[in-house]
Chains A and B, each alone.
Chain A
Amino acid sequence: MRSFLTKRMIQTLVVLVGVSLITFFMMNLAPGDPFMMDPEMRMNPEAVARWKELRQLDRPLHEQYYSWLVNLLKGDFGISLIHNRPVLELITERLPATLLLTGTSLLVALLFAVPLGILSAVKQGTFLDKWISFFTLCGVSLPNFWLGMLLILLFAYHLNWLPASSLRTVGVAASFYDYIKHLILPVVVLSTGSAAYYIRYIRAGILEVIGQDYILTARAKGLKESTVLFRHILRNSMIPVVTVVSLSLPFLFTGAMVTEYVFSWPGMGRWIIMATLSRDYPSVLAVNVIVAALVVLCNLGADLLYAYFDPRIKYR
């Protein structure tokens, strides 16, 4: 177990360094500068030079990378070139709104996906299974921005039931009911796609378990169907569920970019897009490294949970 962990830690480090290297050099080697957006700066080469000196952008790339890395290890993500404020501060300002949206969507998606996935696998080949499969196929094929637009069209513009954008009504005291009303449409959009994906994954996982010899044995020794289902099939089917959840956790962070854009949600989405467009290196680097770290950590977590759900899995 310990040697497995050490090996995985080294792997994790290699991947993280790779991600930061690629992002850093990709953004720096590209033509264009962060201040190209600002016409006043573009006019004045002296100001540009001074601006670069101030932020130590005139030093060689490898030195810049090194100092960025050292600061990162101290927990300092640098200062945004556009907003002139610490990147960490910008992220913590926007993260709650994004997490509210993506977290709720994840819960809603799982609430539908787990029972429906189990149902369609257990009733494989029936009318019900075929309908569930058809709807999940529609779900994964729907472009989420189009679904968002259609829902806005119907529920916000024609029926006037729900608001079309933002986190809460401006100029009205914040209330729980108001937040819920604003959450419904974006949550529906985000969870439709992911629920469809989860259902397919869970269904496939369970079908694999159902085909195993030990299920045949369990039935052959005369266990009740409910015992077979709950004790043998479902427990072994937890692995695909764990995989799916752990793989989608990192995207709580950035996964809603397009949906946030459609619903003018005040989260990370629009900020990330703008930061990329304006070559705000520190912000883009920070987001990339944070997401990469989350992905790798969640993968590790999933591996460890497998061993918990399936004692046959041992790591060496």
Chain B
Amino acid sequence: MPILTRESNIDEKRGSNLFFYWRKFRKNPLSCASLVIVLLLYCMAAFAPWLASYDPHKTDTQNWLNPPDGQNWFGTDRLGRDIFSRVVYGSRVSLTVGFISTALVILIGTMLGSLAGYYGGFWDTLIMRFTDVIMVFPTLFLIITLVSLFEPGLIYIILVIGFVGWTSVARLVRAEFISLREREFIQAVRVLGASDSRIIFRHLLPNAMGTIIVAATLSVPAAILAEAGLSFLGFGVPAPIPSWGNMLREAQGYMRQAWWYAAFPGFFIFLTVMAFNLLGEGLRDAMDP
């Protein structure tokens, strides 16, 4: 079966491509640093109960708005809760939103983008006009409108951010499919009698993977910023759950007395968003010729 050997060759080549990407990625110190920071942040979220020095919900009316010291590294908030512990637990919200919303973004964007790019014609027009409609909405406004329709809760925020953010991924995947589908190797597979689904899943998607991975990495920071913004405006995660955005919201009234209240949660949003941006760019540089 000549076809089989052909495909196993392709697989082998893809494996060596990954190695090639990794070698290129490794050469950029900033990309490596960002990868380490992202991994550390995920560890922080996973091991929050061990890392946090206090219960993030425990109030202490004797010690409210204490400046940072040896006991409370990032100080305490208006109810005497330890800000360091709340920041550690807050990473769970941000990273969950970043991860699941992005998964949704990629799923919807890839599905619609590949349908439009592969079949063209009527489907292309229908899907792309729908994409246009979603794109002309002011994003944050659309998210706020949708979120205000549901009861406050993390799950709705994740869903809404995912359902609003897929448009650029759909466009990228569509463009990639359109340029790929006319290539000779796709025509060859078609001549061999492969079905549409086999062409899409076995040949087109693997070739578009680089674009999709980069788009995914770069949509994580957008999702994290959207959640932080929502929580800051009061549409986000409901109050007792610590999230970096709603900590900043609380801090607004205590800016004069306690700089640390706003400084630390905000710094972690900045750090996370920056790390994912750098990681995405490092991946793009490594995968783009």
List chain A positions with a Cβ less than 8 A from chain B. 11, 14-15, 18-19, 22-23, 26-27, 30-32, 137-138, 140-143, 145-146, 149-150, 152-153, 157, 250-251, 254-255, 257-258, 261-262, 272-273, 276-277, 284, 287-288, 291-292, 295-296
Task: Say yes or no: A150 contacts B266, CB within 8 Å.
Answer: yes
Task: Say yes or no: B273 contacts A18, CB within 8 Å.
Answer: no
Chain B residues whose CB sits within 8 angstroms of the CB of A152 once the complex forms = 255
Q: With A and B bound together, what is the CA distance between A167 and B114 in angstroms? A: 49
Please give me the residue from chain B that is nearest to A149 by CB atom.
B262
Task: Say yes or no: A150 contacts B233, CB within 8 Å.
Answer: no
Chain B residues whose CB sits within 8 angstroms of the CB of A157 once the complex forms = 255-256
Chain A residues whose CB sits within 8 angstroms of the CB of B149 once the complex forms = 26-27, 30-32
Chain B residues whose CB sits within 8 angstroms of the CB of A146 once the complex forms = 248, 262, 266, 269-270
Task: Say yes or no: A277 contacts B148, CB within 8 Å.
Answer: yes
Task: Say yes or no: A276 contacts B141, CB within 8 Å.
Answer: yes
Q: With A and B bound together, what is the CA distance between A32 and B148 in angstroms? A: 10
Partner of A137, one of B135, B144, B266, B274: B274
Partner of A19, one of B133, B140, B251: B133
Task: Tell me if B229 is interfacial: C-beta within 8 Å of chain A.
Answer: yes
Q: With A and B bound together, what is the CA distance between A25 and B207 in angstroms? A: 39
Q: With A and B bound together, what is the CA distance between A241 and B252 in angstroms? A: 36
Q: With A and B bound together, what is the CA distance between A291 and B141 in angstroms? A: 11
Partner of B140, one of A27, A257, A262, A287: A257
Chain A residues whose CB sits within 8 angstroms of the CB of B47 once the complex forms = none
Given A11-B129, A18-B130, A273-B233: A284 and B145 within 8 A (CB)? Answer: yes
Given A150-B266, A157-B255, A258-B232: A251 and B145 within 8 A (CB)? Answer: no
Task: Tell me if B138 is interfacial: C-beta within 8 Å of chain A.
Answer: yes
Task: Tell me if B146 is interfacial: C-beta within 8 Å of chain A.
Answer: yes
Chain A residues whose CB sits within 8 angstroms of the CB of B273 once the complex forms = 141, 143
Please give me the residue from chain B that is nearest to A257 by CB atom.
B140
How far is the CB of A260 from the nearest CB of chain B, in Å? 11
- Sort A-B residue pairs by CB-CB distance and give the 4 closest, nearest first: A146-B266, A141-B274, A18-B133, A30-B149
How far is the CB of A295 from the nearest CB of chain B, in Å? 4
Chain A residues whose CB sits within 8 angstroms of the CB of B281 once the complex forms = 137
Q: With A and B bound together, what is the CA distance between A234 and B226 in angstroms? A: 35
Chain B residues whose CB sits within 8 angstroms of the CB of A250 once the complex forms = 138
How far is the CB of B128 from the nearest CB of chain A, in Å? 10
Chain A residues whose CB sits within 8 angstroms of the CB of B252 once the complex forms = 149, 262
Task: Say yes or no: A14 contacts B129, CB within 8 Å.
Answer: yes
List chain B positions with a Cβ less than 8 A from chain A. 129-130, 132-133, 135-138, 140-141, 144-146, 148-149, 221, 225, 228-229, 232-233, 248, 251-252, 255-256, 259, 262-263, 266, 269-270, 273-274, 277-278, 281
Task: Say yes or no: B145 contacts A26, CB within 8 Å.
Answer: yes
Chain B residues whose CB sits within 8 angstroms of the CB of A257 once the complex forms = 140-141, 233
Task: Say yes or no: A276 contacts B136, CB within 8 Å.
Answer: no
Given A18-B129, A30-B149, A258-B140: A145 and B248 within 8 A (CB)? Answer: yes
Task: Say yes or no: B136 contacts A296, CB within 8 Å.
Answer: yes
Task: Say yes or no: B248 contacts A291, CB within 8 Å.
Answer: no
Task: Say yes or no: A149 contacts B248, CB within 8 Å.
Answer: yes
Can you pick out 12 interface pairs between chain A and chain B where the beta carbons lie within 8 Å of each other?
A18-B130, A141-B270, A141-B274, A143-B232, A153-B262, A257-B140, A258-B233, A272-B141, A288-B138, A288-B141, A291-B137, A292-B137
Chain B residues whose CB sits within 8 angstroms of the CB of A255 once the complex forms = 138
Q: With A and B bound together, what is the CA distance between A22 and B142 in angstroms? A: 11
Task: Say yes or no: A287 contacts B141, CB within 8 Å.
Answer: yes
How far is the CB of A132 from the nearest CB of chain B, in Å? 14
How far is the CB of A199 from the nearest CB of chain B, in Å? 14
- Which residue, of B136, B138, B146, B281, has the highest number of chain A Cβ atoms within 10 A? B136
Chain B residues whose CB sits within 8 angstroms of the CB of A142 once the complex forms = 270
Chain B residues whose CB sits within 8 angstroms of the CB of A258 once the complex forms = 140, 229, 232-233
Task: Say yes or no: B229 contacts A143, CB within 8 Å.
Answer: yes
Task: Say yes or no: A145 contacts B132, CB within 8 Å.
Answer: no
Q: With A and B bound together, what is the CA distance between A214 and B274 in angstroms? A: 37
Chain A residues whose CB sits within 8 angstroms of the CB of B248 once the complex forms = 145-146, 149
Q: With A and B bound together, what is the CA distance between A277 and B145 in angstroms? A: 8
User: 15 extra interchain contacts, Cβ-Cβ under 8 A, other than A11-B132, A143-B228, A262-B252?
Assistant: A19-B136, A27-B145, A32-B149, A137-B274, A137-B281, A138-B274, A145-B228, A146-B269, A149-B248, A149-B266, A258-B233, A273-B144, A276-B141, A292-B136, A296-B136
Chain A residues whose CB sits within 8 angstroms of the CB of B270 once the complex forms = 141-143, 146
Please give me the residue from chain A that is nearest to B271 by CB atom.
A141
Q: With A and B bound together, what is the CA distance between A255 and B198 in angstroms? A: 44
Q: With A and B bound together, what is the CA distance between A142 and B225 in angstroms? A: 9
Please give me the residue from chain A that is nearest to B281 by CB atom.
A137
Task: Say yes or no: A15 contacts B269, CB within 8 Å.
Answer: no
Partner of A153, one of B133, B136, B232, B255: B255
Chain A residues whose CB sits within 8 angstroms of the CB of B221 once the complex forms = 141
Please give me the residue from chain B that is nearest to A145 by CB atom.
B232
Please give me the residue from chain A that is nearest to B132 by CB atom.
A15
Q: With A and B bound together, what is the CA distance between A258 and B130 in angstroms? A: 27
Q: With A and B bound together, what is the CA distance between A300 and B90 in angstroms? A: 43
Given A146-B262, A150-B263, A153-B262: A291 and B148 within 8 A (CB)? Answer: no
